[in-house]
Structure 1
Amino acid sequence: MAALTRSAPSEQERLSHEMGMHTEKLSGRSLEKFFDIDLHEEHGFSLPGAFDVDFNKRAEIDASDLSSSAVNLRIRSLMKDGYGTIVIKNPGAKHSIGVGILNRLNLIIEGSLGYFGLGLIDGPNVRISGRVGWSCAENMMSGTVLIEKNAGSQFGAAIRGGDLVCKGNVGSRTGIDMKGGTIIVGGDTGAFTGFMMQRGRMVICGNAGKNLGDSMYDGIIYIGGEPQSLGVDAVWSEMNDLDRKWLERKLRMYDVGPKGGIGAFRKIVAGKQLWNYDNLEPTEKKLVL
């Protein structure tokens, strides 16, 4: 294999370095904390669109005859009135329920959701007694989402924080473009799970489809079962005591786990052969792929 050589930087590369675009070290970092929400609340500040709610103040929404938009507006209205616990009855697998909630909230959904449920949320704790469709909790920032049954494809797409848990099986491309947080699957997951994963942790208690962790940049995948195959640049790594202690604590919180117990888990990380992909010669690219 030919040795890699670095040519003189182009004008575009020089400018990008001067702008500080190459100074961030991604390895080992978590989400950056830009401000202390508790400190800001003391001075009368909080997140945009957030309301002061009381978890002991409870309300119910019967979604039988309501559109998705009407349900979401009703949730916002109740939060504005200080309700911290909201129960949605008869959701009827409607799409886009509970999106854009930027608030501390205890949200209970008695039934199933359709596509794109709970997207762009930042703060609520959600429990769903039924199933969810495609792209549940897409771009989730913080909080918890617990699904008692199964989930569709692209579960937790581009998630950035919080805990997203499905006790059943999920579809393909789980955690695609994952940027942080934790995704836990109590059962099996489909093909291309963890595709282009960048940060965070994913826990799969069952089996996985083809190309697990394909093109992952960073982050960790734990699997208790067997993957059909690993994707490009996904490699096995050694489990350590910190991995096992973290798994024990996290899985105990949500009462899930593999049939063989914590000892059944194996660890997958990025091989990092694609980090400098553009610098590889054509023959070397073929070897990587």
Structure 2
Amino acid sequence: MAGVSDIELKAMTQEERVKALGMTTEQLTGKSMHIEFDPEATERFEYPWAPVVDFNKRTEVDCDGLTPQEVNSKIRDLMAEGYGTVVLQNPRGMHSIGVGILSKLNLIIEGSTGYFSAGLIDGPNVRITGRVGWSCAENMMAGTVLIEKNAGSTFGAAIRGGDLVCHGSVGSRTGIDQKGGTILVGGDTGALTGFMMQRGRMVICGNAGKNLGDSMYDGTIYIGGEIRSLGVDAVEAEVTSLDKEWLTRKLTQYGLMPEKGVDHFKKIVAGKQLWNYDNLEPNEKKLIL
């Protein structure tokens, strides 16, 4: 797709653009899947029991003296009362808050949090004004999570959808086992970022540590800085016009666009030499590893 003109881009169907960006769909033949939503529905892609909230109805919760369980219970109770914007004050590094929210909500956390913040969510928009510990937004399904400062290790572990954004730098194993969605980092990332990545896209505006994309199965990683080293089966690919268009739109959306634009970004994908790993002879496995 290198050198695709604007006219050709406009002529492409949505399916063609998706395939050109590497966002293909795998048919899981023989797999069973519990269907939560009707794919033919035209509106209200929400859980049937999700509370109806008003984003203009706002309230604050002082976390001082409360346990994480009490804070999370208060959030659920307020949503049941129709509050669509909840502000958590004085979190003071509290662990596991803002978790398990499975419907629409504006959640603002004023301060820093500990590990597993905003994990297991499906739909809310979360903004944390401070730092976060490891495994922020773990198993996120949909929505947005924005961190204004730095984040710990395993940032976005096993996320499946939504946008996870950190304006600062993050620790090691960012996006480990990522299965979808988008992770954006304004600063640097640590070692083994993208380890065992399966789907989705990741954008690192700064530098990456050792073993970037190690054992990644699929997905795409964009790096704006230097790469300490690539991991097993991670290879550099050509950055296409579609890639640059998407990067420009996404980075601008979250205020992360570098002054020099996106032309300097590198694109890392899976070499796919491990796809049939179990069928290789022992001597072939040694060559790969």
TM-score, normalising length from structure 2?
0.86
**DSSP 3-state at the match of 2:263:** helix
**Structure 1 partner of 2:81:** 81
Distance across 2 between alignment mates of 1:30 and 1:255: 33
What does the per-residue CA deviation read over 1:50-109, in whole Å, with 9 as the maximum and x for residues that have no partner? 110000100100101111111000000000000000111111110000000001001111
* One-letter code aligned to 1:223: I
Determine the structure 2 residue equivalent to 1:220.
220
Shift of 1:118: 0.6
Cα pair 2:248 2:261 within 8 Å, conserved: no
Specify the code of the residue in structure 2 equivalent to 1:284. Answer: E
Equivalent positions of 1:21-40 (< 5 A) are 28-29=24-25, 34-36=37-39, 39=42
Runs of 4 or more consecutive aligned structure 1 residues displaced over 3 Å after TM superposition: 30-34, 36-41, 257-260
CA–CA separation in structure 2 for the residues paired with 1:208 and 1:112: 24
Q: Structure 2 CA distance, aligned partners of 1:148 and 1:37?
A: 38
Contact 1:157 1:176 (C-alpha < 8 Å) held by counterparts: yes
Q: Which amino acid aligns with 2:52?
A: D
- Assess if the C-alpha contact under 8 Å between 1:225 and 1:258 holds in 2: no
Q: How does 1:154-169 map to 2 (within 5 A)?
A: 154-169=154-169
Q: Is 2:123 aligned against 1:123?
A: yes
Q: How does 1:162-177 map to 2 (within 5 A)?
A: 162-177=162-177
Preserved CA contact (<8 Å) 2:46 2:103: no
Correspondence 1:2-151 to 2 at 5 A: 28-29=24-25, 34-36=37-39, 39=42, 41=44, 46-47=46-47, 49-151=49-151
| 1:269 aligns to 2:264 (yes or no) | no
Distance of 2:251 and 2:41 partners within structure 1: 28
Q: Which shows bigger deviation, 222-231 or 48-57?
A: 48-57
Task: Give, in whole Å, the separation in 1 of the partners of 2:246 and 2:56.
Answer: 31
CA distance in 2, matches of 1:256, 1:152: 19
- The Cα offsets for residues 100-129 of structure 1, whole Å up to 9 and x where unpaired, read as 000100111100110111110000001110
Distance 1:221 1:30, change over 3 A: farther
- The Cα shift of 1:259 comes to 5.4
| Map of 1:187 onto structure 2 | 187
Residues 200 and 229 of structure 1: CA distance in aligned 2, closer, same or farther (over 3 Å) = same
Q: Deviations over 1:205-231 (max 9, x none)?
A: 000100000000000000000110000
Specify the alignment match of 1:243 in structure 2.
243
Partners of 2:150 and 2:38 in 1: CA distance: 36
Please tell me the residue identity of whatever aligns with 1:185.
V
TM norm structure 1: 0.86
Please give the alpha-carbon distance, in whole angstroms, between the structure 1 residues aligned to 2:169 and 2:246: 22
Partner SS for 1:209: coil
Q: Which amino acid aligns with 1:180?
A: G
Aligned residues: 261
Describe the superposition over 1:9-55 as per-residue Cα deviations: whole angstroms up to 9, x where unpaired: xxxxxxxxxxxxxxxxx9712899953596574xxx94154110000
Please tell me the residue identity of whatever aligns with 2:218.
D
Structure 1 contact 181–200 (Cα < 8 Å) conserved: yes
- Bigger radius of gyration, 1 or 2? 1
Deviations 1:119-173 (Å, cap 9, x if unpaired)? Answer: 1000000111000001000000000000000000000000000000000000000
Aligned letter for 2:264? A
Q: Within 1, Cα distance between the matches of 2:259 and 2:46?
A: 43
| 85-94 or 254-263, which deviates more | 254-263
Q: Where does the alignment leave 5 or more consecutive residues of structure 2 unmatched?
A: 1-21, 28-32
Structure 1 alignment gaps of length 5 or more: 1-25
> Given residue 29 of structure 1, which amino acid in structure 2 is its aligned partner?
T
Query: In 2 relative to 1, CA 198–87 (structure 1 residues): closer, same or farther, beyond 3 Å?
Result: same
Residue 260 of structure 1 and its aligned partner are, at CA, apart by 3.6
Q: Secondary structure at the match of 1:262?
A: coil
